[in-house]
Amino acid sequence: MSDKYTSWKTLRLLWPFVAPYKKALIAAVFGLLLNAATDATLISLTKPLLDHGLMGKNYSLLMIIAGSIIGLILLRGLSNYASTYCLSWLSGKVVTKFRQLIFNHLVKSPVSFHDKSSVGDLVSVITFNTQLLSKASSDALIILVREITYAIGLCCVMFYGSWKLALVLFIIVPIIIFIAQFIAKKFRETIKSMQKGMGEITTAADEMLNGHKEVLIFNAKNYEKRNFSQITDTVRRGVLKIEFVSRLSTPIIQLIATLGLGGILYLVASESLDITPGSFTVVFSAMVAVMRPLRELTSLHVELQKGAVACESLFGILNSPLEEDEGKIEKDKVNGNIEFRHVTYTYPTRNTPSLNDISFTIKAGQTVALVGRSGAGKSTIASLIPRFYDVTNGEILLDSINIKDYTLKSLRSQIGYVSQRVHLFNGTIADNIAYGEKGKHSQEAITHAAKLANALEFIDKLEQGINTEIGDNGVLLSGGQRQRIAIARVLLRNNPILILDEATSALDNESERLVQEAIEILQKNRTSIIIAHRLSTIEKADRILVIDEGKIVEDGDHESLLALNGIYSQMHKMQFNA
């Protein structure tokens, strides 16, 4: 862990998130101080109770002390309730704020960030780490305020009872501070390991649930069980180690404090001190009571380390770069002229460019197909237009304007995107068709879009029609049905630019026919870029660009490319056995 996220600096980093709720913090601190003060005061009353009340048979004093004890107990309960409630309220606010900030940041993070990040780790940060940070911070605050105040109060009580006996504290306290520092050092890496393990648990569970059919067909049930068992066992050992280290302080401190008590008893028994029963009882009771705050103080560094580890992951995300959105131009609707000028793009994880000095122009309303071998760079071209990635060199123009000069919202509102792997959201079919614009479109408009996409063919057979719940990621629908909902999304928005990334490659013949019919309706009066594996689906395209190793190697329509007898012709022969 870097110095940036060590214990005390973590608290300073948290302050901007706590500051808006400082009234609750002040109330909590005041309650904790009051709670500690009442505890110490209760013990201090032992001296007058014994020396003057009982030994002196001063019954009026006994009545006063009895009333004082009742009042202090009530005050203690009230202050404890107030501080606990205020801290819980404050923690809830901070956790909610952090989770919203992390979520908002991830929504605006570039695709490249999500490409290299584990979903399980990110989910763990949003859920586990935010809670860990809040709990560690509130626990640290309780220890810092209440226990330190209580310990100081008890020390004062001991000196009030007998300053000679209280000198034993000068021996005990340095030893306990040394123990606290030792435990804190042992803690940090263990907590980081456990945090990583929680992310791995989420990832393993997510992969098994999403890939359940693959697990079954490849007979990988035992592998998945062993893998998950190893991960959970690692986390279990980490938790056990944390408990072992943190709980180790209790018996050690008790042993040290007991030796201190033994020293006090020895001094009293040796008659080397002239001390009253009340003074002895106060010192002895305070010495016993001080074990709790001293024990808790050893865990202060532990709690701060937990917070520091969580803070590192949270601020690591919050400090990661967002999508560049410095464009100023906003348009309701563009014409759809697209131009690539000497575009080169290299993925951050690769050494060689996926696209190498590519230049081409697509006129508004034109249908252009991109074909080529896997990894040739077709999907990269499709991903650069909506700025999922930004070009390494060169520029992309939309209506003769660099796409970086548009706001991201305006640019992406011009583009309808249908990929091979359609993602649907948990909700109704209508919700998914109107996704991102819920409430903007009427039920009739949504139904019309579904009709144009050939989706009513299956929607009308459902009991609740367009208002049918489709489950997580549309699990209740087939591939062809999911694709038609995705096409209905684009039809509803009437985007001037259409990108189809192998939208029919995974469909059966009947589904492909229905989807292809919907696509032909979708392409009308739109600039269309189609990435296709099945050449039969792009024979009518105005232009076909053949991409190979990041370059355009052939450019023409279907007939002219067949006549060239090049890569396109070879691909066509392979598919149709000609």
Question: C-alpha angle with apex 111: 106 to 112, nearest 5 degrees?
Answer: 110
Question: In the predicted model, is pLDDT for residue 2 greater than 50?
Answer: no
Write out the DSSP string of 393-440.
Answer: EEEEEETTEEGGGB-HHHHHTTEEEEESS----SSBHHHHHTTT-TTT
Output 290 or 367, whichever has higher pLDDT: 367
Residues above pLDDT 70, as percent of the chain: 83
Question: In the predicted model, is pLDDT for residue 562 greater than 50?
Answer: yes
180/468 Cα distance (integer angstroms): 59
Question: In the predicted model, is pLDDT for residue 165 greater than 80?
Answer: no
- Same domain assignment for residues 314 and 331: no
Beta-strand relationship, 497-501 and 415-419: parallel
- Same domain assignment for residues 282 and 372: no
Strand partners, 428: 469
Domain-located, residue 48: yes
* 38-to-152, 287, 296 alpha-carbon distances in Å: 13, 17, 18
- Same domain assignment for residues 366 and 294: no
- Same domain assignment for residues 297 and 331: no
* Torsion angle (degrees, nearest 10) of CA 488, 493, 499, 502: -10
Per 3-state DSSP, the chain is made up of helix, strand and coil in percentages (nearest 5) of 65, 10, 25
The CATH number for 162's domain is 1.20.1560.10
Residue 544 pLDDT class (50, 70, 90 cuts): very high
313/2 Cα distance (integer angstroms): 12
Residue 298 pLDDT class (50, 70, 90 cuts): low
21/8 Cα distance (integer angstroms): 20
The 10 Å Cβ neighbour count of residue 561 is 23
Q: Token pair of 395, please?
A: 């520029």
Domain-located, residue 172: yes
95-117 mean pLDDT: 87
Output 200 or 549, whichever has higher pLDDT: 549
DSSP designation for 539: T
Alpha helical stretches, state H, 211-220: 212-217
User: At what angle are helices 443-452 and 479-493 packed, to 10 degrees?
Assistant: 120
Which residue's entry shows tokens 């050690």?
Answer: 252
Burial of residue 165 (number of CB atoms within 10 Å: 0-12, 13-18, 19+): buried
Q: Determine the pLDDT at residue 511.
A: 66
93/23 Cα distance (integer angstroms): 13
The pLDDT tens digits of the residues spanning 63-75 come to 888 898 899 999 9
User: Under DSSP, is residue 535 helix (H, G, I), strand (E, B) or coil?
Assistant: helix
The 10 Å Cβ neighbour count of residue 269 is 9
Domain-located, residue 422: no
Domain-located, residue 157: yes
Q: Determine the pLDDT at residue 411.
A: 92
Q: Determine the pLDDT at residue 1.
A: 42
Q: Any idea how long the chain is?
A: 578
Q: Which amino acid is at 163?
A: W
Inter-residue contact 510 to 517 (CB < 8 Å): no
Q: Determine the pLDDT at residue 552.
A: 92
Single out the residue in 301, 318, 335 at which a domain terminates: 318
The pLDDT tens digits of the residues spanning 474-526 come to 777 887 888 888 888 888 888 899 998 876 665 666 666 777 777 777 778 88
Q: Which amino acid is at 299?
A: S
Domain-located, residue 553: yes
Residue 176 pLDDT class (50, 70, 90 cuts): low
Rounded to the nearest 5°, which phi and psi values hold at 189?
A: -65, -35
- Same domain assignment for residues 298 and 371: no
The CATH number for 332's domain is 3.40.50.300
454-458 mean pLDDT: 86
For residue 63, the surrounding DSSP H or E stretch is helix 59-107
* 446-to-306, 452, 493 alpha-carbon distances in Å: 49, 10, 10
- Same domain assignment for residues 108 and 245: yes
89-97 mean pLDDT: 87
Single out the residue in 318, 335, 361 at which a domain terminates: 318
Inter-residue contact 54 to 102 (CB < 8 Å): no
Least confident of 265-269, 389-393, 530-534: 265-269
Indicate the pTM of the whole model: 0.73
Inter-residue contact 370 to 382 (CB < 8 Å): yes
Domain-located, residue 473: no
Domain-located, residue 555: yes
CB neighbour burial string for 369-384, b if at least 16 within 10 angstroms, e if fewer: bbbbeeebbbbbbbbb
- Same domain assignment for residues 314 and 388: no
Inter-residue contact 92 to 131 (CB < 8 Å): no
Residue 270 pLDDT class (50, 70, 90 cuts): low
Q: Token pair of 31, please?
A: 């309650």
- The total number of structural domains that make up the chain: 2
Domain-located, residue 529: no
CB neighbour burial string for 69-100, b if at least 16 within 10 angstroms, e if fewer: eeebeeebeebbebbbebbeebbebbbebbbe
Residues 6+ apart with CB under 8 A from 113: 320, 321
- Same domain assignment for residues 169 and 289: yes
Question: In the predicted model, is pLDDT for residue 273 greater than 70?
Answer: no
544-566 mean pLDDT: 91
The pLDDT tens digits of the residues spanning 208-221 come to 766 765 676 667 77
544-565 mean pLDDT: 91
- Same domain assignment for residues 395 and 268: no
Q: Determine the pLDDT at residue 7.
A: 57
- Same domain assignment for residues 144 and 218: yes
Average pLDDT over all residues of the chain: 81
The pLDDT tens digits of the residues spanning 301-341 come to 667 777 777 887 888 888 888 888 899 999 988 999 999 99
Look up the domain containing 545 and give its range: 326-414+538-578
- Same domain assignment for residues 332 and 307: no
Beta-strand relationship, 367-372 and 527-531: parallel
DSSP designation for 502: S
Q: Which amino acid is at 436?
A: G
Q: Determine the pLDDT at residue 505.
A: 60
- Same domain assignment for residues 314 and 330: no
Q: Determine the pLDDT at residue 340.
A: 95
Inter-residue contact 407 to 424 (CB < 8 Å): no
Write out the DSSP string of 183-209.
Answer: HHHHHHHHHHHHHHHHHHHHHHHHHHH
Single out the residue in 284, 318, 352 at which a domain terminates: 318
553-570 mean pLDDT: 90
Q: Determine the pLDDT at residue 283.
A: 76
